[in-house]
Amino acid sequence: MSWASWTTTGVYTGGGGVLTDEVGVLTGDVTVHTTFVDGEARVAVQYSGASDWFTMSGSPVPCGSEPESRDLHDAVVEAVREAVREGGGAIVPSMPHLSG
For the chain, the structural domain boundaries read 3-85
What b/e sequence results for 53-84 when a residue is b if at least 16 CB atoms lie within 10 Å of its CB, and e otherwise?
A: ebbbbbbbbebeeeebbbbbbebbbebbbebe
pTM of the model: 0.89
The percent of residues above 90 in pLDDT, for the chain, comes to: 72
Alpha-carbon torsion (64, 66, 68, 72), positive or negative: positive
Q: Which tens digit of pLDDT belongs to each residue from 23-39?
A: 999 999 999 999 999 89
Residue 99: pLDDT band with limits 50, 70, 90: very low
Residue 96 has pLDDT above 70, yes or no: no
Q: Which tens digit of pLDDT belongs to each residue from 42-73?
A: 999 999 999 999 999 999 999 989 999 999 99
Sort strands 24-26 and 29-37 into parallel, antiparallel or unpaired. Answer: unpaired
